[in-house]
């Protein structure tokens, strides 16, 4: 957690309100990333692996093509292949070739993967609720509204 504390204390030199807003958002994102990493490490999984599992868990029973999952996760095909390799070794997913086009690879979540994902989802709900006791519910709603406003505004600038 020392990295998180260092992040919190850094960038005191930033003075202008626009700069300070961006830096504070970045610091918050970095701190949340660290906390996420700590949370998921308890399950011997990364947030990226968990995201992959949730996509499959909430997807179709017959699985999803790796390219579809890659688009939802915004990662390269090479990264998806490695991710599937690691999740397959853990027994959470399995690969299946398309019957009509053998070049298409479908990932399917296993029963072990389903029960693992359900367990982590439940623990994540408890964990996220506990770390967000920092804000009252009305403050959380206000923050969500502000963040969405920033997101829409930033997308318009791309």
Residue 80's pLDDT band (boundaries 50, 70, 90)?
confident
Q: Which of 149, 132, 158 is nearest to 35 (CA)?
A: 132
Kindly tell me if the per-residue pLDDT of 12 is higher than 80. no
H or E segment to which residue 15 belongs: none
Kindly tell me if the per-residue pLDDT of 103 is higher than 80. no
- Distance of alpha carbon 145 from alpha carbon 68, whole angstroms: 29
- pLDDT exceeding 90 applies to what percent of the chain? 59
Q: Which structure tokens are listed for 25?
A: 């958002």
Looking at the DSSP assignment, which residues form a beta bridge with residue 109?
Answer: 93
What CA–CA distances, in Å, run from 95 to 24, 62, 105? 42, 11, 7
- Distance of alpha carbon 61 from alpha carbon 63, whole angstroms: 5
* Higher per-residue pLDDT: 61 or 98: 61
Kindly tell me if the per-residue pLDDT of 138 is higher than 80. yes
Residue pair 85/101 in contact by the 8 Å Cβ criterion: no
- pLDDT exceeding 70 applies to what percent of the chain? 88
- Distance of alpha carbon 157 from alpha carbon 13, whole angstroms: 27
| CATH code of the domain occupying 46-157 | 1.10.10.10
Q: Which structure tokens are listed for 99?
A: 């019957």
Mean per-residue pLDDT, 66-77: 80
- Distance of alpha carbon 18 from alpha carbon 146, whole angstroms: 15
Mean per-residue pLDDT, 17-43: 92
Total residue count of the chain as it appears in this document: 158
- Distance of alpha carbon 105 from alpha carbon 67, whole angstroms: 8
């Amino acid at each position: 957690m020392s990295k998180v504390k260092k992040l919190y204390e850094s960038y005191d030199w930033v003075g202008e309100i626009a700069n300070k807003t961006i830096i504070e958002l970045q610091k918050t994102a970095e701190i949340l990333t660290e906390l996420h990493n700590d949370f998921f490490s308890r399950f011997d999984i990364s947030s990226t692996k968990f995201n992959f599992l949730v996509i499959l868990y909430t997807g179709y029973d017959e699985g999803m093509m790796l390219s579809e999952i890659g688009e939802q996760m915004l990662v390269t095909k090479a990264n998806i292949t490695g991710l599937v390799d690691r999740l397959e070794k853990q027994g959470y997913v399995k690969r299946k070739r398309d019957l009509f086009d053998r070049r298409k690879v479908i990932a399917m979540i296993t029963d072990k993967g389903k029960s693992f994902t359900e367990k982590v989802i439940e623990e994540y709900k408890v964990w996220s609720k506990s770390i967000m006791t920092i804000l009252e519910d009305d403050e959380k709603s206000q923050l969500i509204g502000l963040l969405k406003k920033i997101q829409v505004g930033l997308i318009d600038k791309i």
